[in-house]
Structure 1
Amino acid sequence: MSANPSRFRHVHDGWDDACAATLDPVGRLVYRSNLLGSDQRITNTGGGNTSAKIMERDPLTGESVEVLWVKGSGGDLRTSTRANFASLDLKKLFTLRSIYLRDPLRGPKSAAEDAMVNLYPHCTFNLNPRASSIDTPLHAFIPYRHVDHMHPNAVIAIAAARNGERLTRAIYGDEVIWTPWQRPGFDLGLTLERICREHPQAHGVILGGHGLINWADDDRECYERTLDLIERAATYIEERDRGAATFGGPKCEALPFDRRRAAFATILPWLRGQISRERRFIATIQDDDATLRFVNSVDAPRLAELGTSCPDHFLRTKIKPLYVDWHPHNETLDDLKRKLSDGLERYRADYTRYYETFRHSDSPPMRDPNPTVVLIPGLGMIAWGKDKSESRVTAEFYTAAIEVMRGAEAIDEYVALPLQEAFDIEYWQLEEAKLRRMPPEKELARQVIAVIGSGSGIGREVALRLADEGAHVVCVDKDEAAASATAQMIIDRHGMGIGVAGSDISACGPAINLAADITDRDSVRRMVQHLLLAYGGLDAVAITAGIFVAPDVEGRIRDDQWALTFAINVTGQYIVADEAAAIWRAQGLPASLVLTTSVNAVVAKKGSLAYDTSKAAANHLVRELAIDLAPLVRVNGVAPATVVQGSSMFPRERVIASLTKYGIPFKPDEPTGALTAKLAQFYADRSLLKRPVTPTDQAEAFFLLLSRRLGQTTGQIITVDGGLHEAFLR
C-alpha cells in the first residue's frame, strides 16, 4: 500500500504497490490516471492530462521507439482505459518542433500554432485511433518520463490570485516555477521545455490562470509529487481561510431544506421554459453548505460578475453565471421570478455584447446566450446542460470555481482571465471543431418523460424504448422496487454519463425511479416535485398503469372493484394529466401526453364489463384532454389488444382461468411461460395477422406519438391489436 497513508489531509493517496506491480507500463499510466481522476480536489471531470514516455517496438521495423502515451482528446481521467490514450512517436513530435520554429509568424494564437494540431496524426504510433489533445506538446517537450497536468482547486486559487507569482515562491520556493497565462498548445509546450532547461531543480510549473503541471522519471514519484504539491497549496490556504469572512460574511441565511426544495420545484419549470427557447435544457440543483455559503455571502455578486478563471471551468459554465439579488426572507417567489426574468434579459444582452466586442472575423457563430449557471441567495445553484450528465458536470465545475475563489480570496485577491483571453478560448476554432465532431443528438434528446406504470409489461418496454432514443426517463410505479428495476436496466444499458453522481435525487443519471399511487393526488404531486428536482422540468407523460378485475364465478363484480377499476383506468389518468398540465403551463414549452386505453373500449365483451366501460371512458378522456390542453399539449392514446406476455395483469392464476374459460388444453404443472404462450397464441389466432401482440409493439406506438414524427396528431387513438376486425369503427 501507500508508504504514507496518513501523510495527506487534502488529497487521497490511493497508490497500491502490489496492484501497480501487476501492470505493464501503459497499464500503470492508466492506473495512475484513474487514481488522480477519482479525487475532485485534484482535477475535474474530463479535466487534466497524464502521460508516460515508454519504449515500444515498432511493428514494422522491429526497432525500439520512444512513444509518448498521453490522455487523448475527450475522456475523463477517473474512468479512462487504455483506449482513451493516444500514442505518438516522440521523435516525430520533435520534428514538428522544427517545423513550427521555422514559421516567422508563430505564436500562441497564430495559424502556425493551430496547424500543428493537424499534424499530430502523422506522429501516431501503431495506428492508434485515439485523437491527440491540444495539451500533447505540454507533455512531449518536458524532458521527464512521467508528467501530470492537473486542475486542483487549491493550486488554481494561486494561479488565479492577483499576486500568484509571489505566492508561488512563498509556498514552493524554487521547486515550482510560475509562468503567466498562455493558451494551451504547441507554444506553451516549448515554454515548459525552456523552463525545465533553465530551472533544472524544478519539479513543476504553475500555469497562470490555469493549473499545475509536474514531472518525474518514476511514475509513483510523479503521482506522489502531484499530491504533495496540491497538499502544500491547500494547507497554505487553510491556514489563512477566515471562514464565512473570506467571502465578506453572510448577507442572508439559507431557507430551511424543505422550503428550499419546494421553492426549487416551483421555480424550475418556469425557469426552464425561459432558458429553453432555442433548445431544451436539463437541470441540476445544488444547495450544499459550500454552495450556500457562497451564494448567501456579501461578496458573491462581485465575484460572480468576475466570472471563472480556469479555461476548463468557463467552457462549461460560460464566462460568468447569472446571480440574482433576491432576498429570501422578505421577498416572494413571484419577486424571484420577476428578478430572474429581468436578469435573464440583461444576461443575454451582456453575452451578446461580449461576443460582438471580442469576436474575430473567423469566430464561430454566437452560441446560446442563456446562462448555464444561476445563483440564488437562500436557495443555491441551478446548473443547466443538454443532458443530465452535462448539467451535473456544469454544477461540479462551478463548485470548483467557488473553491478557487475561496482560496484566492483567503490568501490574496481573486482575478479572472481578461475577457479577450476568455473569449479566444470559448470560441477557439479547435474547440468548435471538437463540438462539431460530436455525434448528432438522438431523437428524444433533451426530453424528460415520465412513464407511469413502468415497473413491468408495456410500461417497462416504453421506458426502455424512450431511453434508447435519448430521453431522460422517470420510471414511476406503485411498486417502487419494480420501478427501480426498470431504471437500473436503463442505467446499465446507457451508463450514468460523465460527472460524479451523488446520493441526492438531483445528482441522478438518465433515469430515476419514483413511487406513486395515481389514485391519490398528493402522491402524484410528491412524484412530480421529485422529478422536477431531478431534471428541472417535464416534457411528456406516458401512462401505462391499468387494472383488470375479474368478475366472480357468477359474472358479477363488486361495487368496490368497479370503483377501483375506474379510479385507476380513468380518474388516475386524469389526475396525472392535471398535475402535469400545471408544469407544462409553467414551462410554456410544447408537450405531449399519451394515455393507455384498449380495443375493448369499442368492443363489448362478456366478463369484462367494468374494464371495458372504463376504457371507453379513457378513450373519451383522450379527446377531452386534447381539447382542454391545446395548443400547448398534444394528447393521444394507445389502444392495445390483450397483451399477455410480460403483463402484470396476467399472473399465473388469470392465465389458467382464461385457458379454462376458452377450453384450451393445458397441464396444471406446466411452467408459467408455456401457459402464457398458449394463451397469447389463442388471442393472436383471433386477429388478422395471427401474431401475438407484445409490449414491444405497444412501446413503438408510444414512441411515435411522443416523438416529432406525429407532431401534428392530437386527440387520436392508435390501435395496436394485430387486426381485430370486431374493433373496426362503424
Structure 2
Amino acid sequence: MVKPEEYHHVSYKWDDSHAAKLDPVDRLVYRSNLLGSDQRITNTGGGNTSSKVIEKDPLTGKEVEVLWVKGSGGDLRTSKRENFSSLYQDKLLGLQRIYAALPDNGLKTPAEDSMVGMFTHTTFNLNPRASSIDTPLHSFLTGKHVDHMHPNAIIAIAASSRCEELTEEIFGSEMSYVPWMRPGFELGLAMQEIEKKDPSVKAIMMGQHGFISWDDDDKACYIRTLDFIEKAANYIEGKYQANGGDATAFGGAKYQPLPAIERDATLAAILPWLRGKVSVQKRFIGTVQHDEKILRFVNSADAPRLAELGTSCPDHFLRTKIKPLYVAWNPQTEDAARLKALLEAGLDQYRKDYATYYENCKHANSPAMRDPNPTVILIPGIGMIAWGKDKSESRVTAEFYNCAVEVMRGAEAIDEYIALPQQEAFDIEYWLLEEAKLQRMPAEKELARQIHIVIGAGSGIGKETAHRLVKEGAHIVCVDLNHEAAEATAKEITDKYGVGIGVAGSGISGCGPAVGLRANITDRASIREMLDQVALAYGGFDAIEVTAGIFVPSDTTGHIPDEKWALTFNINVTGSYFVADEAYKTWKEQGLRGALVLTTSANAAVAKKGSLAYDTSKAAANHLVRELAMELAPLVRVNGVAPATVVQGSAMFPRDRVIGSLAKYDIPYSDDEETQSLVNKLAQFYADRTLTKAPITPGDQAEAYFLLVTERLSKTTGQIITVDGGLHEAFLR
C-alpha cells in the first residue's frame, strides 16, 4: 500500500478519531463523502459504495446481514444516510435463482430490467430509497465493503484498446478484468465468477467503465481504492512525461488561445445567438470554461478526431450526449462572423448525425428521439460551452466533459483511446429504465430554464421581485447601481438555493441561480457591459424587470432644481429606454421570445402637489411602455407595473423622507421614535386612503411582475397593471 503522504493524484482524508465515533452505516456515509469529495476519484453523481452490516430484523428480532448501498440518483460527495438503500443480503443472493430461470432469448435487456423491479422485494425495514442498478455488483462480491469508482486515471486504462493487457501490466494479480457490460445482474454475476475462480482478487477493471474494489475492513477498502487510482495515475504520468509532456498532449498545439479581452468579447457577441440556436426545443442555460486544461485540448491537433469519437464512460455521455460539437475555427485568422457561420453549419450537421445515430440504433420500444442539439461545444482559442436545463446542470455537463478530456489524455499517452460502441451508448442513453426515471421527475417550475435581469434588485420592490422569481425556477441577475447591494441580494438567493456544483465556469463570483452585477441605467456603455456579463454567466437572458427609480421632492417653495428634474427623467424614463434599446439588440440575436416590465406609478394618472418631476416622469414611463410594446413586437412583450406609495422596504423612503411625510400630513410622531414605527404609521396613512385599507408591500408589487413575465399573461403587452390598493383617483377615465 502507498503511504498517505506519498499520494500525489488523490487525497487521503480518513480520520480514525472521527470514524471511531460512527456506527457502521454512518461510517459508510463518511467513506462515501470522502471519496466523492475528490473529482479525481469519481464524478458528480457517479460511483457507488456499500457495506454489509449486521442488523436486527424488525419482524423476527433475529440478526440478519443487510447490504447498505448508495441508492439511485445519489451523489457520493453530498450523500447522507437517507440516500442509501438497505436490502436483505440473503434475499438479493436469492434473486440469482429467479434470473437463471428467465428465458435466454439473446435479449439481455428485458431480463435485466425485470430484475431491477425485484429489488423492492428485498428491501430491509421499509427503506424508501430506490436501489441502484449497480446493486448486484455490491451484493455478489464477498467483500463486506465495496467501492465502485469512476476515476479519470482508471477510465483512461478502461477506454484504451489494450485495456486487458494494460490492467495486468500495471496491477499484476491485484486486479482482474471484465469486458464492457451494462451495469446490472449480468455484470454482477460475471464479477462473482471472477472472484470464485481467484479468491485473492480484490479489484476488477471494468472495460470502458471504471473499476470496483473491496475489503472486509472499511478503512482498508478506502485505502485500497486510493492505491489503485494512485498507481494508475503514476503509470499514466510516467508515460505522458516520457512522450514529451504538455507540449505533445493530443498531438501538440495547432491553435493559440485568444487573449482574455478578445475571448470574452467574442463570447459576448455569439453566446445569446448560440443559445437561441440550441434552445429551439427547450431553453438552455450555458456555462463557459476556458482554463488551461480545456484550452490545451480544444487547441490541439488531435481534438477534432478525439471529439468525434465521443465519450467512453456511460456516466459521461448521459450528460454530454454521444459526442460534442467541435468547430474548426481558426482564432488567429477568422472573426466572430466566420465563427457564427461555422457554428451554424456545425449545428445543422450535428442534428443530422444525431438523427442518424438514433435511427440506426433504436429499438421497436425505444423512447422518442430527444433534443438533437449538442450539450457541449468546443471552440479553438476560446474553450468549451456546456448547456443544461439550469446553471447547475450545465456546470456538471462541463465537469463531465473535463473528465472525458482527462480520460482521452491518459488513454492516448499509454495506448489509443476508444469510445463505447454506438449501439451500447444508445442502449444506455435510451434505456427504458432511464426514461422511466425521467418521467418520474417532478414537472419543471414555471420559470425554469429562464434568466431574468432585475434592475434595482438591491432593495425594495426589486429585491422582493428577485426572490419571487427565483422561487419559480428562474435564474436571477441582480442589478443595482450599488454593486454591494446587488451582490447581497444575490447572496441571499444562493444561500437559500445553493450555487450548484461543477466547474467554476465563467468565473463570475457566485454564479449559480443568482449573480450580482452593477449597472448605471443612464449610461448605455454600462448597460451593455452588464448585458455582456450576463451572456458570459448564463449564455443570454429571457426577461428584464426594471424596478429602479428615483423620487426628488420639490423644495419648500414648490420648486425643483433643473439638474434634479433632468436626473429624475434620466432614471425614470431615459434609463428604461436605454435598457430596452440595448437589450433588444441581444433579444434579436437570441431569437427567443422575451418580456420586459417597467415600473411606472399610480402618480402617473393622478396630479399631486410636491412631486412634479416624479409624477410627470412616470406619466412619460406609462407611454414609454406603450411605445416599446409597438417597437419590440412580436419578439418581446412590454408591460408596466404601477405601484402606489410603497413605504415598507423601499430605498426611496429613508428615515428623513418618512419624517418629512409625517410632518406634511400632520401625523403625530416623535424624533426619537424607532424607524420601523415611523414607517408603519406612514404606510397605514397611505393605506387608509385606498379602498382596500391595507398597506401596500414590495411583495404585492413582485406578484404583478411575476404574472407579467409568465405564460399566464402571454397575450398581454402594452398594458399597465396598477397595484395601489384601490386609489379611485387613479381609475382609468
Q: Is TM > 0.5 for Structure 1 vs Structure 2?
A: yes
Q: Cα distance, 1:507 vs. partner? A: 7.6
Q: Cα distance, 1:104 vs. partner? A: 3.1
Distance 1:32 1:306, change over 3 A: same
Q: Cα distance, 1:563 vs. partner? A: 1.4
Task: Describe the SS at the equivalent of 2:33.
Answer: helix
Matched, 1:446 2:449: yes
Matched, 1:378 2:381: yes
Matched, 1:228 2:227: yes
**Among candidates 679, 699, 704, match of residue 702 of structure 2:** 699
**Match in the other structure for 1:569:** 572
Matched, 1:357 2:356: no
Q: How does 1:401-480 map to 2 (within 5 A)?
A: 401-480=404-483
Asked whether the 8 Å contact 1:108–1:187 carries over to 2, the reply is no
1:264-296 deviations in Å (ceiling 9; x for gaps): 111100011111111100100111111011101
Q: Cα distance, 1:500 vs. partner? A: 5.1
**Among candidates 599, 603, 608, match of residue 605 of structure 1:** 608
**Match in the other structure for 1:25:** 24
**Match in the other structure for 1:40:** 39
Q: How does 1:67-216 map to 2 (within 5 A)?
A: 67-105=66-104, 109-216=108-215
Matches of 1:479 and 1:701, distance apart in 2? 24
Distance 1:155 1:514, change over 3 A: same
**Among candidates 693, 716, 721, match of residue 718 of structure 1:** 721
**Match in the other structure for 1:345:** 348
Matches of 1:4 and 1:163, distance apart in 2? 29
Q: How does 1:515-526 map to 2 (within 5 A)?
A: 515-526=518-529
Asked whether the 8 Å contact 1:655–1:679 carries over to 2, the reply is yes
Q: Cα distance, 1:5 vs. partner? A: 4.2
Give the partner amino acid of 1:83: E
Matches of 1:108 and 1:89, distance apart in 2? 28
Distance 1:333 1:507, change over 3 A: farther
**Among candidates 530, 534, 547, match of residue 531 of structure 1:** 534
Give the partner amino acid of 1:48: G
Greater mean alpha carbon deviation, residues 563-572 or residues 717-726: 563-572
Q: How does 1:166-315 map to 2 (within 5 A)?
A: 166-241=165-240, 242-315=245-318
Matches of 1:406 and 1:628, distance apart in 2? 52
Matches of 1:715 and 1:682, distance apart in 2? 32
Give the partner amino acid of 2:322: I
Matched, 1:10 2:9: yes
Asked whether the 8 Å contact 2:289–2:506 carries over to 1, the reply is no
Q: Cα distance, 1:496 vs. partner? A: 2.4
Matches of 2:638 and 2:383, distance apart in 1? 36
**Among candidates 486, 504, 508, match of residue 507 of structure 2:** 504
Matches of 2:14 and 2:649, distance apart in 1? 48
Distance 1:179 1:506, change over 3 A: farther
Matches of 2:714 and 2:384, distance apart in 1? 34
**Match in the other structure for 1:329:** 332
Give the partner amino acid of 2:446: E
TM-score, with normalisation over the residues of structure 2?
0.98
Distance 1:107 1:203, change over 3 A: farther
Q: Cα distance, 1:194 vs. partner? A: 1.0
Q: Cα distance, 1:493 vs. partner? A: 2.2
Q: Cα distance, 1:244 vs. partner? A: 3.1
Asked whether the 8 Å contact 1:295–1:377 carries over to 2, the reply is yes
TM-score, with normalisation over the residues of structure 1?
0.98
Give the partner amino acid of 2:75: D
Matches of 1:416 and 1:294, distance apart in 2? 17
Asked whether the 8 Å contact 2:399–2:502 carries over to 1, the reply is yes
Asked whether the 8 Å contact 2:288–2:506 carries over to 1, the reply is no
Which residues of structure 2 form unaligned runs of 5+? none
Matches of 1:552 and 1:643, distance apart in 2? 21
Give the partner amino acid of 1:602: A
**Match in the other structure for 1:551:** 554
1:297-325 deviations in Å (ceiling 9; x for gaps): 11000000000000000000000001111
Matches of 2:27 and 2:71, distance apart in 1? 16
**Match in the other structure for 2:583:** 580
**Match in the other structure for 1:490:** 493
Give the partner amino acid of 2:154: V
**Match in the other structure for 1:592:** 595
RMSD of equivalent CA atoms: 1.3
Matches of 1:113 and 1:60, distance apart in 2? 30
Give the partner amino acid of 1:126: N
Give the partner amino acid of 1:22: K
Matches of 2:109 and 2:266, distance apart in 1? 49
Q: Cα distance, 1:506 vs. partner? A: 8.3
Asked whether the 8 Å contact 1:48–1:77 carries over to 2, the reply is yes
Matches of 2:13 and 2:556, distance apart in 1? 68
Distance 1:53 1:108, change over 3 A: farther
Matches of 2:470 and 2:572, distance apart in 1? 25
Task: Describe the SS at the equivalent of 1:131.
Answer: coil
Asked whether the 8 Å contact 1:106–1:113 carries over to 2, the reply is no
Q: Cα distance, 1:492 vs. partner? A: 2.3
Q: Cα distance, 1:4 vs. partner? A: 4.4
Give the partner amino acid of 2:87: L
Give the partner amino acid of 2:606: V
Q: Cα distance, 1:729 vs. partner? A: 1.6
Give the partner amino acid of 1:708: E
Aligned residues: 729
Q: Cα distance, 1:186 vs. partner? A: 0.9
Asked whether the 8 Å contact 2:287–2:506 carries over to 1, the reply is no
Matches of 2:209 and 2:261, distance apart in 1? 38
Which residues of structure 1 form unaligned runs of 5+? none
Q: Cα distance, 1:62 vs. partner? A: 1.2
Task: Describe the SS at the equivalent of 2:234.
Answer: helix
Matches of 1:109 and 1:672, distance apart in 2? 72
Matches of 2:677 and 2:690, distance apart in 1? 21
Q: Cα distance, 1:3 vs. partner? A: 10
Asked whether the 8 Å contact 1:491–1:509 carries over to 2, the reply is yes
Task: Describe the SS at the equivalent of 2:273.
Answer: helix
1:522-544 deviations in Å (ceiling 9; x for gaps): 22111111111110011000000
Distance 1:582 1:247, change over 3 A: same
Matches of 1:197 and 1:185, distance apart in 2? 19
Q: Cα distance, 1:76 vs. partner? A: 0.9
Matches of 1:190 and 1:106, distance apart in 2? 18
Q: Cα distance, 1:557 vs. partner? A: 1.4
Matches of 1:4 and 1:613, distance apart in 2? 76
Matched, 1:650 2:649: no
Task: Describe the SS at the equivalent of 1:68.
Answer: strand
Q: Cα distance, 1:149 vs. partner? A: 0.5
1:679-707 deviations in Å (ceiling 9; x for gaps): 00100000011111110000000000000
Matches of 2:137 and 2:62, distance apart in 1? 26
Asked whether the 8 Å contact 1:108–1:186 carries over to 2, the reply is no
Task: Describe the SS at the equivalent of 1:688.
Answer: coil
Asked whether the 8 Å contact 1:506–1:533 carries over to 2, the reply is no
Distance 1:371 1:503, change over 3 A: closer
